[in-house]
Amino acid sequence: MQPKADEIKILLIEDEEFDVLRVRNTVSYYENRIKIVNTVSNGRAALELVKENPDKFDVVIMDYQISGGLKGEELITEIKAVDSFIQIIVITKMTINITDYNFANRLIKAGAFWYCTKYPGNIEEYIYQPTDFILSIFNAFEKKKLEKLKLRSDKKLSQNIVNLLEIKRIIGDSKPIVQLKESIEKYAKSDVSILVNGPSGTGKELVAWNIHLKSNRKYENFVPINCGSIPDELIESELFGYEKGSFTGAQNAKLGLFEQAHHGTLFLDEVAELPLNAQVKLLRVIQEGEIEKIGRTKKVQVDVRIIAATNKDLANEVNTGRFREDLYYRLNVVPIDIVPLRLRGYDIILLFEHFTAYFSQDMGLETPELEEDAKEILLNYRWPGNVRELRNVVQRLVLNCTGRITAKDISNPMILRNHLIVKDETSFENMTFGQVLPYRDVERMFKKKYFEYVRSISSSDSSAAEKLGLAPSNYYRMCKELGLK
C-alpha cells in the first residue's frame, strides 16, 4: 500500500523500553497521521537506517542520553549531513537544567528542530505535554515539506538563470572583449551604478543583462527603458508611476518602472536623451532611494540598481550643458566601454558563425559553411552598424545560401549593403577613438599628428619648417604649444 501523502514517518531513537512506550502513548491519539516506522536503541543503528533508506523518515525523535558512542549533538550533525531535510526532535532528562540556554543553543546549532524535557518517570501515558509534543511533530513535518519545496523552486530559478545566461552569452575572445567580461565579473556582485558606453549595436543592452544575471539581484526584474523613445511629458509617469485619480485621465494607478525594478535592475538606455527636468528627479531618487509618485504625498522606498547606457560622449554632453554634471557622476561610478566590432579582430568570424548556427537552427535549415575568402571580406569590412548589422547580414545570408557561404554571396549588395566601406586606419573615427570631439580638440590632435609626421620625414627642423611653409620662429613656437619640444 502507498503511504499516505501527509503521513508523518518517525524514526525513534531511545534505549529505554519504558520511554519508547511513553512516546508511543503520547502520539497514539494521532496514529492515523503519525507513524513510528522504526525504533532503534543506539546512534550507529539510527545513522545506518537513515543512510540506507533515503527519504524514509520525516522526523527523528531522539533521546539525548543514550548508550553507545554516537549520541547528542554529534548524532544530530551526522543525521543532518546524510539528509538535511529530516527534522530532529530531542528529548532530554529532567536532570538537564531546563533553563540552560547554552545547551539549547548547542542543540539548535547542531541542527535540531526542537527539544523538550521528559516528564517524571511515574507518568506512563505521556513523555511530554501531548498537544505541544504532537504540534511540534506537525510543525517539523511542515518545515521539511517547505524546505523541499524551496529547494525545488530554487533549482528551477537557477536553471532559468543558467538558460538566460546562455541566451545572453557574450561571444568573443578578442582582448577588448575578454577585458569587458572581466569588468562584468568584477562589478556585477556590487551595487555600483554602471555607465555602459559604446557605438550603436555593440551590445550595450547585452552587457547590462549580463551584469544583472551575475548579480545578487538575478532572480528579480531587469527593467529596460529607452529614454530616447518616450515623449518628454511622459517620462516622469513612466519612471515613477501615478496614483488613481491624480490627474484627469488617471483612471487607474500606474506602477512606475522604478517600482517594477524594486530589488532588481533598471536599465536606462540612451540616457543622454533624458530631458533636464527628468534628470533632476532621477538624481534625487538615486540620492534618497525614494520616489515621489504623482498624486501621493508619502514617498515610496525603492531599492534599485541602475545601469545606464549611451552612444554619446556623456562628458561632452555635460560640457555643453545638455546633461547634469551631478547626475553624470552618480551614473558613471564605473564606466564600461565597448569597442566597435571592427576593432575586435577574429571575433567577427566567431559572431558570424554563432549567428549562422542560430538562424539556421531557428529556420530548420542546415548550417552553411563559411569559405575562407568570404572571411577575408568580413574581416576587412568596417561594420558601421556593429554586431547588430552583422546579425542582420547573417539572417539574410542564411535565407539565401545553402551549404556554403562564398565571397560572392557576401559581396552581393543585397547582403552586405555597403561592402565597399572597408576598414580605413586613417579615418577620423580611428583618430578620435570613435568619438565626436569638439573641433578645437580635433584641430589640435590633427596639428600634432601632422607635425610629427612631417618631422619624421625631414632631416632637420629647418627643413620641416620649410615644408610646412612656416617661418622658423613660428615653427618653434607651435612645436612648443603642441608639446613636441
Ligand X SMILES: Nc1ncnc2c1ncn2[C@@H]1O[C@H](COP(=O)(O)OP(=O)(O)OP(=O)(O)O)[C@@H](O)[C@H]1O
Q: HEC profile for the chain? A: CCCCCCCEEEEEECCCHHHHHHHHHHHHHHCCCEEEEEEECCHHHHHHHHHHCCCCCCEEEEECCCCCCCCHHHHHHHHHHHCCCCEEEEEECCCCCCCCHHHHHHHHHHCCCEEEECCCCCCCCCCCCHHHHHHHHHHHHHHHHHHHHHHHHHHHHHHHHHHHHHHCCCCCCCHHHHHHHHHHHHHHCCCCCEEEECCCCCCHHHHHHHHHHCCCCCCCCEEEEECCCCCHHHHHHHHHEECCCCCCCCCCCEECHHHHCCCCEEEEECHHHCCHHHHHHHHHHHHHCEECCECCCCCEECCCEEEEEECCCHHHHHHCCCCCHHHHHHHCCEEEECCCHHHCCCHHHHHHHHHHHHHHHHCCCCCCEECHHHHHHHHHECCCCHHHHHHHHHHHHHHHCCCEECHHHHHCCCCCCCCCCECCCCCHHHHCCCCCCCHHHHHHHHHHHHHHHHHHCCCCHHHHHHHHCCCHHHHHHHHHHCCCC
Is the Cβ of residue 205 or residue 337 nearer to Mg ion in the bound state?
205
Q: Residue 201 binds which one of ligand X, Mg ion, none, with CB within 5 to 8 A depending on kind? A: ligand X
Q: Which residues bind ligand X (CB under 6 A)?
A: 170-172, 198, 200-206, 311, 351, 387-388, 391
Is the Cβ of residue 337 or residue 371 nearer to Mg ion in the bound state?
337
The residue among 141, 161, 167 whose CA lies nearest residue 86 is 141
- Cell 527519504 sits at which residue? 55
Measured CA to CA in angstroms, residue 74 lies from 110, 182, 250 at distances of 8, 44, 63
Question: Rounded to the nearest whole angstrom, what is the least distance from the CB of residue 222 to ligand X in the complex?
Answer: 13
Give residue number: closest CB to ligand X: 203
Is the Cβ of residue 58 or residue 269 nearer to Mg ion in the bound state?
269
Report the C-alpha gap between 172 and 353 in whole angstroms: 11
Enter the C-alpha cell of residue 348. 567577427
Using the contact rule CB under 5 A, the part of the chain among 18-26, 203-211, 287-295, 381-389 near Mg ion is 203-211
Question: Rounded to the nearest whole angstrom, what is the least distance from the CB of residue 177 to ligand X in the complex?
Answer: 6
Question: Rounded to the nearest whole angstrom, what is the least distance from the CB of residue 157 to ligand X in the complex?
Answer: 23
Q: Residue 198 binds which one of ligand X, Mg ion, none, with CB within 5 to 8 A depending on kind? A: ligand X
Measured CA to CA in angstroms, residue 116 lies from 15, 370, 402, 436 at distances of 17, 73, 75, 75
Q: Residue 172 binds which one of Mg ion, ligand X, none, with CB within 5 to 8 A depending on kind? A: ligand X
Using the contact rule CB under 5 A, the part of the chain among 65-73, 94-102, 205-213, 353-361 near Mg ion is 205-213
Contact 79, 112 (CB under 8 A): no
Report the C-alpha gap between 460 and 462 in whole angstroms: 5
Q: Residue 43 binds which one of ligand X, Mg ion, none, with CB within 5 to 8 A depending on kind? A: none
Question: Quick check: 238 binds Mg ion (CB under 5 A)?
Answer: no
Q: Residue 72 binds which one of Mg ion, ligand X, none, with CB within 5 to 8 A depending on kind? A: none
CA angle 313, 318, 320 (to 5 degrees): 95
Give residue number: closest CB to Mg ion: 205
Q: Residue 202 binds which one of Mg ion, ligand X, none, with CB within 5 to 8 A depending on kind? A: ligand X
Q: Residue 200 binds which one of ligand X, Mg ion, none, with CB within 5 to 8 A depending on kind? A: ligand X
Is the Cβ of residue 271 or residue 387 nearer to ligand X in the bound state?
387
Is the Cβ of residue 228 or residue 289 nearer to ligand X in the bound state?
228
Is the Cβ of residue 205 or residue 461 nearer to Mg ion in the bound state?
205
Question: Rounded to the nearest whole angstrom, what is the least distance from the CB of residue 329 to ligand X in the complex?
Answer: 23
Question: Rounded to the nearest whole angstrom, what is the least distance from the CB of residue 267 to Mg ion in the complex?
Answer: 9
Question: Quick check: 337 binds Mg ion (CB under 5 A)?
Answer: no
Q: Residue 24 binds which one of ligand X, Mg ion, none, with CB within 5 to 8 A depending on kind? A: none
Question: Quick check: 205 binds Mg ion (CB under 5 A)?
Answer: yes
Q: Residue 406 binds which one of ligand X, Mg ion, none, with CB within 5 to 8 A depending on kind? A: none
Question: Rounded to the nearest whole angstrom, what is the least distance from the CB of residue 345 to Mg ion in the complex?
Answer: 23
Question: Rounded to the nearest whole angstrom, what is the least distance from the CB of residue 196 to Mg ion in the complex?
Answer: 9
Is the Cβ of residue 14 or residue 389 nearer to ligand X in the bound state?
389
Enter the C-alpha cell of residue 107. 542543540
Question: Rounded to the nearest whole angstrom, what is the least distance from the CB of residue 170 to ligand X in the complex?
Answer: 4
Question: Rounded to the nearest whole angstrom, what is the least distance from the CB of residue 89 to ligand X in the complex?
Answer: 53
Q: Residue 203 binds which one of ligand X, Mg ion, none, with CB within 5 to 8 A depending on kind? A: ligand X
Is the Cβ of residue 388 or residue 448 nearer to ligand X in the bound state?
388
Report the C-alpha gap between 331 and 303 in whole angstroms: 15
Q: Residue 171 binds which one of Mg ion, ligand X, none, with CB within 5 to 8 A depending on kind? A: ligand X
Is the Cβ of residue 86 or residue 341 nearer to ligand X in the bound state?
341
Question: Rounded to the nearest whole angstrom, what is the least distance from the CB of residue 171 to ligand X in the complex?
Answer: 4
Question: Rounded to the nearest whole angstrom, what is the least distance from the CB of residue 213 to ligand X in the complex?
Answer: 13
Is the Cβ of residue 104 or residue 171 nearer to ligand X in the bound state?
171
Is the Cβ of residue 204 or residue 212 nearer to ligand X in the bound state?
204
Question: Rounded to the nearest whole angstrom, what is the least distance from the CB of residue 428 to ligand X in the complex?
Answer: 20
Give the CA radius of gyration of the chain: 35
Is the Cβ of residue 285 or residue 351 nearer to ligand X in the bound state?
351
The contact set with Mg ion (CB under 5 A) reads 205
